[in-house]
Amino acid sequence: MSMHASEYRLRCSAVPHSTPSAGIVGASGYTGVELLRLIAGHPSLDLRLATGDSKAGMRVADLYPSLAAHYRDRTFDSFSPKRVDGLDVVFVALPHGVSQTVVPEIRGTVGHIVDLGSDFRLHDPKLYPQWYGNEHPAPDLLGEFVYGLPELFRDKIAGAELIAATGCNVATAVFALAPMVDAGVVEPDGLIVDLITGVSGAGRPPKENTTFCTVDENVTAYGLLSHRHTPEIEQAIEERTGSSVSVLFTPHLAPMNRGILATCYGRPTSATSTEEILEVLRNFYADEPFIVVGETSPSTKATLGANTVHLTARVDPRTGLVMVIAALDNLMKGASGMAIQNANLALGLDETAGLSTIGVYP
């Protein structure tokens, strides 16, 4: 335990138990505003800090009118490590590459850190230059982070100090494929993930490939053969199942605000049926409050605003392939909802606190 961590625990032990205090570093982005919304309705979190350096001093309600009724006069704070000192949980919702410098500055001075970015998800530091193009500046911390996918690694997350919350693309693929590999019903090599994602997954700052005129009435595949989330998908499945896997991951950008649909394929290890692999999914996710397994083909709209994953599966007797389809809301179960679920586990709260299983429709 670091000296800072010891000081934090000593300081907290002298203070009577109260509602856990929370902070958001990077609250002005899409995952940040979703965290603001969720914490506003959380029964056990007290928001003390919401930083947004590019928007510091601006009223939250002016940037996001949807939050005006709750955050009437609150403004975005500027960030400094001292401002988070003593908080029980800090959500880091920053672009890739930024958390790598922020986390070492605040680690140990707060109770728990939930990083929503990809900076600490991969265990092997050699994978960062290969897939992200840069050496990791804090490689020693990679082994200290717990991978934050509660349905697969709940016991490791409970009470953890450092949590790297799973990304939206990865979560969708892993929810579909991990049960199949774990049960040994598909070959671990040559798994295919064909994924469609909404534009909010690219973040709030404008980019040439996410402007309205580029995205509207257009579907584009990107990251062909080299998408940076590929090793994370493989790592998560391998960590849960113990099987070495290889995945071909191809994401597609679709003209919708939010949502992910992943159609995943594997070759069966032996003769099987749709009924058998649906039962594999049901058994794997038995009693999971945020997982819906059924025969109906999942849709992104069915998960809108909810912390749920919808799954189904088929076996094609003509090609012999197993197909598993998963849908979720990329800003909820794929990001901020996942982060709250991780924080609940880390803090010893009800895992479902502040998270809805009910989607918004139409």
CATH code: domain of residue 216? 3.30.360.10
Q: Are residues 161 and 247 in the same domain?
A: no
Decide if 264 is catalytic. Answer: no
- Select from 113, 67, 68, 75 the least CA-distant residue to 94: 113
Does 359 fall in a domain?
no
Does 360 fall in a domain?
no
**In the structure encoding, which two tokens stand for residue 258, read together?**
């939010």
Does 356 fall in a domain?
no
How would residue 2 be classed by pLDDT, with cut points 50, 70 and 90?
Answer: very low
Share of the chain above pLDDT 70, in %: 95
Residues 148 and 164: beta-carbon distance below 8 Å: yes
SS3 at position 90: strand
CATH code: domain of residue 128? 3.40.50.720
- Could you give the C-alpha distances from 85 to 57, 105, 112, 298, in angstroms and in order? 20, 10, 11, 43
Does 185 fall in a domain?
yes
Q: Are residues 9 and 146 in the same domain?
A: yes
Instruction: State the average pLDDT over residues 272-285.
Output: 98
DSSP assignment, residue 233?
Answer: H
Is residue 3 over pLDDT 70? Answer: no
Is residue 112 over pLDDT 90? Answer: yes
Does 358 fall in a domain?
no
Three-class secondary structure assignment of 330-356: CCHHHHHHHHHHHHHHHHCCCCCCCCC
Q: Are residues 174 and 242 in the same domain?
A: yes
Q: Peptide bond before 362: cis, by omega within 30 degrees of 0?
A: yes
Q: Are residues 244 and 307 in the same domain?
A: yes
Q: Are residues 129 and 257 in the same domain?
A: no
pTM value is 0.93
Q: Which residue in the list 12, 168, 213, 264 is annotated as catalytic? A: 168
Q: Are residues 246 and 324 in the same domain?
A: yes
Is residue 7 over pLDDT 70? Answer: no
**Residue partners of 287: CB distance under 8 A and separation at least 6:** none
How would residue 8 be classed by pLDDT, with cut points 50, 70 and 90?
Answer: low
Is residue 207 over pLDDT 90? Answer: no
Is residue 64 over pLDDT 70? Answer: yes
pLDDT of residue 154: 98
pLDDT of residue 10: 46
Does 43 fall in a domain?
yes
pLDDT of residue 205: 78
- Could you give the C-alpha distances from 137 to 93, 95, 103, 126, in angstroms and in order? 18, 15, 11, 12
Is residue 16 over pLDDT 60? Answer: no
pLDDT of residue 9: 53
Q: Are residues 153 and 211 in the same domain?
A: no
**In the structure encoding, which two tokens stand for residue 357, read together?**
């299983």
Is residue 310 over pLDDT 80? Answer: yes
Does 357 fall in a domain?
no
pLDDT of residue 96: 87
Domain carrying residue 213:
169-330
Is residue 13 over pLDDT 50? Answer: no
How would residue 53 be classed by pLDDT, with cut points 50, 70 and 90?
Answer: confident
pLDDT of residue 209: 83
DSSP assignment, residue 360?
Answer: P
Does 190 fall in a domain?
yes
**Residue partners of 236: CB distance under 8 A and separation at least 6:** 147, 149, 152, 166, 170, 174, 178
Q: How many domains does the chain have?
A: 2
pLDDT in tens, 138-159: 999 999 999 999 999 999 999 9
pLDDT of residue 204: 78
Is residue 100 over pLDDT 60? Answer: yes
pLDDT of residue 296: 96
How would residue 352 be classed by pLDDT, with cut points 50, 70 and 90?
Answer: very high
pLDDT of residue 170: 98
